[in-house]
Chains A and B, each alone.
Chain A
Amino acid sequence: MVPLWMYLAVAAALFCIGVFGVLSRRNAVAILMGVELMLNAVNINLVAFWRYSETGTTLLLNGYAFTAFVLIIAAAEAAVGLGIIITVYRNRRSVIPEEADTLKG
């Protein structure tokens, strides 16, 4: 079997790629895509820890169910986030987050 640390290393790399996307892109949709990458990296970690945890001969379902709930939260986040982006674009004709500064004093 592939050792646990290789899964963790791949997840760390994917998370850092997502961090780079969130920090450096200017388009709000691209930033949301970076957030999706980060959520997927966390999901890899959760499933890998679940699979490699020592709980006797059988596995409990904690990690499995946790990952399913993270997937649900990610779906809700994507739906609401894209709705907000579309509304901001309709009001300000821009998808650049720095230009949505109505609340700035």
Chain B
Amino acid sequence: MELNAVTIGFFVFTILTLGGGIGVVTTRNLFQGTIWLMVSLFGVAGYFVLLSAPFLAAVQVLVYIGAIAILITFAVMLTRSVTRIKERYIRTIPSFVASLALFLVLLFGITVPIFGDYPSEMAPTVVMTTRDLGVALVEGNGYVVPFLLASVLLTAAMIGAIFIARDEES
């Protein structure tokens, strides 16, 4: 594996993603946890750029870092505990052992080719662009049905979230 821009970017985004993830699960202050979550999601957006999916990277930054992180920040502020939580973690050792075991099983499955050999590492050189995705989303033999269903789902989720979180007295 030669050292070029893609490789350096991969390692930088690996540090951002995994470091941010570890920060999310280990920090005691949930505000700092939200910041770490933003760092981790930014690293994932960088992976999307490396994998030649720039539209998904833009959506990742807009939706996750722009919207969901702000939403989590609001939830942290609105649910500031009156009675301070004494212990912030439960079952720390069993959880750590379980997730480590899961990681080892997954790593074994990734690196050891049980189900036949790997396909060649050469990826296709011609990649569909964002314009092709936009056409496929509204085309009859494309993804028009899931696209419309997703629109309905988003509307229902928005109405449901407003209805659930509404204050009863006012």
- Which A positions have Cβ atoms within 8 angstroms of B? 1-10, 12-21, 23-30, 32-34, 36-37, 40, 43-44, 47-48, 50-61, 64-65, 67-69, 71-80, 82-87, 89-90, 93-96
Q: Known: A13-B18, A65-B136, A89-B78. Is A43-B106 also a contact (CB below 8 A)?
A: no
> Chain B contacts of A34 at CB under 8 A?
24-25
Q: Is the CB of B89 within 8 A of A47?
A: no
User: Closest 10 CB pairs between A and B?
Assistant: A76-B157, A23-B95, A21-B25, A83-B165, A12-B106, A16-B103, A24-B95, A83-B161, A17-B21, A20-B99
Some 5 contacts from A to B, beta carbons below 8 A apart, are A12-B110, A14-B17, A25-B89, A76-B156, A86-B78
Q: Is the CB of B56 within 8 A of A67?
A: yes
- Asked if B12 is at the interface of the complex by the 8 Å CB criterion, the answer is no
Q: Known: A17-B22, A64-B56. Is A29-B75 also a contact (CB below 8 A)?
A: yes
- Which B positions have Cβ atoms within 8 angstroms of A? 1, 6-7, 10, 14, 17-18, 21-22, 24-25, 30, 33-34, 37, 40-41, 44, 47-48, 50-53, 55-56, 59-60, 63-64, 67-68, 71-72, 74-76, 78-79, 81-83, 85, 87-92, 94-96, 98-100, 102-103, 106-107, 110-111, 118-121, 123-128, 132-133, 136-137, 142-143, 146, 150, 153-154, 156-158, 160-162, 164-165, 167
Nearest residue in A to B113 (C-beta to C-beta)?
A5
> Chain A contacts of B25 at CB under 8 A?
17-18, 20-21, 24-25, 30, 34, 37
The secondary structure that dominates the A interface is helix
Q: Known: A8-B110, A69-B146, A83-B161. Is A26-B68 also a contact (CB below 8 A)?
A: no
Q: Is the CB of B59 within 8 A of A71?
A: yes
Q: Is the CB of A51 within 8 A of B68?
A: no
Distance (whole angstroms) from the CB of B170 to the closest CB of chain A? 12
Q: Is the CB of B59 within 8 A of A36?
A: no
